[in-house]
């Protein structure tokens, strides 16, 4: 089955959230290495929230793939 518009939207959202996780993780690593532990801890809260969003986004994509028999654009 060809990818539908909803699959494309969900996949794009997953990519956006994963990019945000990567960005926040890089920022936190820099702060930790610089010894700015208070800022690192503050950023950790945002990272935890973003990780929750990642789980929800991936879950929604998986559910859509199961329900609509959509397939990834490329093999995973």
Concatenating the DSSP letter of every residue in 6-61 gives: HHHHHHHHHHHHHHHHHHHHHHHHHHHHTT-HHHHHHHHHHHHHHHHHHHHHHHHH
pLDDT value of position 75 = 45
73 three-class SS: coil
> Per residue in 19-71, pLDDT tens?
999 999 999 999 999 999 999 999 999 999 999 999 999 999 999 999 998 87
**Residues 13/49/24/54 CA torsion (nearest 10 deg):** -30
pLDDT score for 71: 74
The pTM for the full model equals 0.83
Which distant-in-sequence residues (6+ apart) come within 8 Å of 51 by Cβ? 21
Write down the pLDDT at residue 73.
62
């Amino acid at each position: 089955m060809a990818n539908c518009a909803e699959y494309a939207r969900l996949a794009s959202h997953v990519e956006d959230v994963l990019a945000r996780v990567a960005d926040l993780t890089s920022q936190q690593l820099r702060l930790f290495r610089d010894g700015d532990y208070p800022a690192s801890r503050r950023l950790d809260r945002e990272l935890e929230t973003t990780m929750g969003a990642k789980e929800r986004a991936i879950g929604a994509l998986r559910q859509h793939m199961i329900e609509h028999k959509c397939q990834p654009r490329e093999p995973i």
